A and B are shown apart, each in its own frame.
Chain A
């Protein structure tokens, strides 16, 4: 839901009449951008927001100036997090008009499932289990690229996307996918708490591999305002933090996919010991091309294809998540020992069943 904010907000303020190039240049160094509408009829702001989001701006985007409650969902779906209310504005009308429609046809920046995606999901549910079984038989003994190719076969009519943390081992899978189809959507959970090195690595790798559709998925501004206004939820409840920053956004972002390629490997965790290349989880086909790889296989692939490395690997980070919950591991320690170290937690929840989809 679009946040409604009282009073003048901090952040760089630009009129929606500012040329796109200038807005983009300014956004590159800003965490908060306030786009000011000089007339509610001037819809440039909707395109500016959409373009900024598609080109990777993950900071806060606030609409200000002359906007109407009836534009709440246009703002939200174009990528705005919040609106700065004019003095005397009726916040109730904003909330009501924001929720006037239960669904939209067309894909937009906002990740909620569209009518098209929901229709597709409804029609695809039936035979995924059988499909997974068949594909598992067909790819028996096949390589990771062959598994990816099988999943991307247009004849299957699957809507395939992938999730990547742009972490220590991510380059291998992304490289394989990019070779097969570089426009495959890649979802990156922009939790707001990544290492800076991860963010620059994401940019570097995206470019090197020619990935054309890397989607940055941020936590819902409204949820975050309720649950974690000071960005320190991780201290008291890491599960809730993962839920807010990863599980819920991912559910929204992947609602349009009925097949998701993951980089999970059997050796990584006890919960993953029986991992197959294809499996169905909550009505979505999970494709795990690297199921039988171990860390040496990944290393060999990275070396063989001369792929860029995550800058933190040199410093001893072997599995990289958000900075508050990741530490380097000692020699001989399990690679994932550095994740949620000291907590009774091995998975963030995005790869477990029964995802808590946002209502």
Chain B
């Protein structure tokens, strides 16, 4: 993983001092709240319902055990003993005091972490495939490029006061495990004709009130020109994007309104007059950064592992965990292990300080000191020897971290909702908990296979409900919480927005309605057909019928 050098350290330290200065000026009255707000947001500080919220960046989701322990320390010292992982692979604390924030940021800086640009109208944390560097279908590890984008976008002089936020995601495989088409810019590493690295570039994706799937703007931008191309995109949008209406300010609206071809021309025009040579990623800097992401010293191992196979036979619970939470690895004898943060009836994405310590210890012991945060609000130990998986599972089990539901129906993605968030219209967590409890039976879940449910407490769509196989959106109907259901969304390389099936439901109806949807799927699926494929084949109607049948009967 990347390690800071003197320059990175200095910059993060200076950022902490700058923020302390801003906090002092806010306290003295030199800055109004209106002026302070965008500055604190650019350091990840929100003011939510009950307190400030701090969003800490986990650049491209990669952490060391030392960093994870520090996150636990912060949870214990300045917060209420837990943190919440988000779909953008950051971690949020819900209770820090403004006056403690400089100290928290100093603690983070000690372990090469920060909260820079985790919010605000600037370029946000770049995300990637949680299995980067481990997956067996990868063309190239995307993380060095993410780190280059991180550095380039940090305190960018031209792009710190954009019309709205700007999110970039990068994948290194055909399979999209980072939802790149839901981002302002999605980058997919491809091979150029000359064999070199290039980027297929998508632009104008986004969720929120007006969701859009990103469109391809370039088929293969040579890697060295990536920053120049991104600069041209951002410049075109910064100059032309709307600033009169917050809901129409994202780049997706500009791209949709002038069309992808006109937007491409605009970008090309800027690209032509850019200082491309300056923005060329220096070959030696790339080599320097790539060296940090070299594969860890794997052992030469046979493909099969006797201890792993014995445990499969000996313990059905382990066998279930192995089926659902263990992923193929490019290196023979290794696997990636998903640590689900979705215990039955729990808060999706939450993890206690003690669990963070356990995860850190296990990463150190079994995964070359590396731990990842996933788009799905889970953690991943990327490089675990198959021989070690049984012991790892037992340790996870002890810590309440061995829920064997990765990618199954109770692996729900959800935002914090109205329990915490000042923007929300409805709560997400209680509905997710009710759903999880109702569908808890793991035999049933395995029978269903992969189904993703996404839940957002308002139209800002932090829970990505538009691209959930089943989406749940909280709405406010005259002061009461109601939930609108969508089906058929998908965040991957076949990205699609879900269809709204009908009128919204009261909270207690959500879990039963979703269960009826799932039962209907079991009835109509063909052999081996996944839920999302059935929806694609038959459309939303059968599911609409299932959702409303008892309601209609009751109303009839």
A and B in contact, CB less than 8 Å: yes
Point out residues on A near B: beta carbons under 8 Å. Answer: 19-20, 40-44, 46-48, 50-51, 54-55, 68, 70-71, 73-78, 90, 93, 96-97, 100-110, 115-116, 118-120, 123-124, 154, 157, 159, 183-185, 212-213, 215, 256
Query: With contacts A47-B238, A212-B276 known, what are 9 further pairs, Cβ within 8 A?
Result: A19-B239, A43-B121, A43-B163, A68-B31, A93-B25, A97-B18, A105-B151, A106-B154, A215-B275
For the complex formed, measure the closest distance between the CB of A339 and the CB atoms of chain B, giving whole angstroms.
30
Nearest chain A CB to B237 CB, angstrom units: 9
Q: Known contacts A103-B10, A119-B285, A213-B276: does B235 contact A43 (CB below 8 Å)? A: no
* Most B-side CB within 10 Å, residue of A47, A74, A185: A47
B161 / chain A contacts, CB cutoff of 8 Å: 40-43, 46, 71, 74
Choice from A50, A78, A106 contacting B151 with Cβ under 8 Å: A106
Which residues of B sit under 8 angstroms from A116, Cβ to Cβ?
A: 151, 282, 285
B residues 15-34 touching A (CB-CB < 8 Å): 15, 17-18, 21-22, 25, 30-31
Complex interface: chain A residues within 8 A of B480 (CB)? none
A107 touching B238, Cβ below 8 Å:
no
Is the CB–CB distance between A97 and B239 below 8 Å? no
**Minimum C-beta distance from B153 to chain A (A):** 8
- Check B48 for interface membership: any CB of A closer than 8 A: no
> Do B160 and A43 touch across chains, with their CB atoms under 8 A apart?
yes
User: Does B551 count as interface, using CB distance less than 8 angstroms?
Assistant: no
Contact A103 B11 (CB under 8 A): yes
A104 interface neighbour in B35, B157, B235, Cβ under 8 Å: B157
What chain A residues lie within 8 Å of B227 (beta carbons)?
106
Q: Which listed residue (B7, B14, B162, B282) contacts A100, Cβ 8 A?
A: B14
Most buried by A among B155, B275, B285, B288: B275
The answer to whether A74 touches B35, judged by C-beta atoms less than 8 angstroms apart, is no
Given contacts A40-B35, A74-B157, whether A107 and B235 have CB atoms under 8 Å apart is: no
Complex: chain A residue closest to B162, CB-CB: A43
**Inter-subunit contact A100/B285 (CB<8 Å):** no
Contact check, A119 vs B275: say whether CB atoms are below 8 A apart: no
- A and B contact pairs by CB, cutoff 8 A, 29 listed: A20-B239, A40-B38, A42-B243, A43-B158, A43-B161, A44-B239, A46-B158, A51-B270, A51-B273, A54-B275, A70-B39, A78-B157, A78-B158, A90-B30, A93-B30, A101-B14, A101-B15, A101-B155, A103-B7, A105-B152, A106-B151, A106-B156, A108-B157, A116-B285, A120-B285, A154-B283, A184-B277, A213-B276, A256-B278
Q: Once bound together, how far apart are the Cα atoms of A262 and B55, in whole Å?
A: 50
Across the interface, do A46 and B239 meet the contact criterion of CB distance under 8 Å? no
Docked Cα-Cα span, A96 to B30, in Å, equals 14
Indicate whether A47 sits within 8 Å of B158 (C-beta atoms), given known contacts A20-B239, A115-B11. yes
- Closest CB of chain B to A314's CB: distance in Å? 32
Within the assembled complex, what's the spacing in Å between the Cα atoms of A109 and B156? Answer: 12
Minimum distance in angstroms from A211 CB to a CB of chain B? 11
Contact status A159-B282, CB under 8 Å: yes
Q: How far is the CA of A159 from the CA of B21 in the complex (A)?
A: 38
A54 to B30, CA, bound (A): 35
In the assembled complex, the Cα of A41 lies from the Cα of B239 at a distance in Å of 13
How many Å lie between the Cα of A78 and that of B234 in the bound state?
Answer: 14
A321 CB, min distance to chain B CBs, angstroms: 26
* Min distance, Cβ B283 to any Cβ of chain A, angstroms: 6
- Asked if B14 and A185 make an inter-chain contact with CB atoms under 8 angstroms apart, the answer reads no
Confirm or deny: B159 has a beta carbon within 8 angstroms of a beta carbon on chain A.
yes
Smallest Cβ distance from B284 to chain A, in angstroms? Answer: 6
Most B CB atoms within 10 A — which of A51, A70, A102? A70
Determine if B276 and A119 form an interchain contact, defined as CB atoms under 8 angstroms apart.
no
Tell me whether B284 and A120 are in contact (CB under 8 A).
yes
B279 and A107: CB pair below 8 A? yes
Interface status of B5 (Cβ within 8 A of chain A): yes
A193 to chain B, nearest CB (A): 25
Task: Say whether B239 contacts A48, CB under 8 Å.
Answer: yes
B71 to chain A, nearest CB (A): 25
Cβ–Cβ contact B155 & A47, under 8 A:
no
With A46-B157, A97-B21 in contact, do A183 and B283 touch (Cβ < 8 Å)?
no
- Given A100-B14, A102-B10, A119-B7, residue A77 in contact with residue B284 (CB < 8 A): no
* B residues near A70, Cβ cutoff 8 Å: 18, 22, 39
In the complex, whether B274 has a CB less than 8 A from a CB of chain A is yes
Instruction: Please state if B160 and A47 are interface contacts (CB–CB under 8 Å).
Output: no
Q: Which residues of chain B are near A184, meaning CB under 8 Å?
A: 277
What separation, in Å, do the CA atoms of A97 and B152 have in the docked complex?
20
CB-based contact A102/B30 at 8 Å: no
**Distance of B408 from chain A, by nearest CB (Å):** 41
Q: Which residues of A contact B275 (CB under 8 A)?
A: 54, 107, 185, 213, 215
A115 to chain B: which residues have CB within 8 Å? Answer: 7-8, 11, 151
Q: Knowing A48-B239, A50-B158, A105-B154 are in contact, say whether A55-B14 is a contact too (CB < 8 A).
A: no
- Chain A: CB-nearest residue to B42: A70
Residues on the B chain within 8 Å of A159, using CB: 282
* Cβ contact within 8 Å between A41 and B38: yes
Contact, CB under 8 Å: A120 / B238? no
Closest Cβ neighbor of A104 among chain B residues? B155
A172→B156 CA distance, assembly (Å): 38
> Hey, which chain A residues are within 8 Å of B31, CB to CB?
68
Q: In the complex, which residues of chain A have a beta carbon less than 8 angstroms from the beta carbon of B38?
A: 40-41
A210 to B330, CA, bound (A): 47
**Chain B residue, CB-CB nearest to A20:** B239
A50 to B236, CA, bound (A): 12
* Chain B residues with CB below 8 A from A48, complex form: 239
Query: A73 touching B21 by the CB < 8 A rule?
Result: no
CA of A118 to CA of B5, assembled, Å = 12
A44 to B157, CA, bound (A): 11
Q: Are A51 and B235 in contact (CB under 8 A)?
A: yes
Interface contact B18-A74, CB-CB below 8 Å: no
Q: How far is the CA of A103 from the CA of B10 in the complex (A)?
A: 8
Query: Per a CB cutoff under 8 Å, which of B25, B39, B157, B162 touches A73?
Result: B157
How far, in angstroms, from A287 to B417 measured CA to CA in the complex? 63
Closest 9 CB pairs of A and B: A43-B161, A77-B157, A105-B151, A107-B278, A115-B7, A100-B18, A46-B158, A74-B157, A47-B238
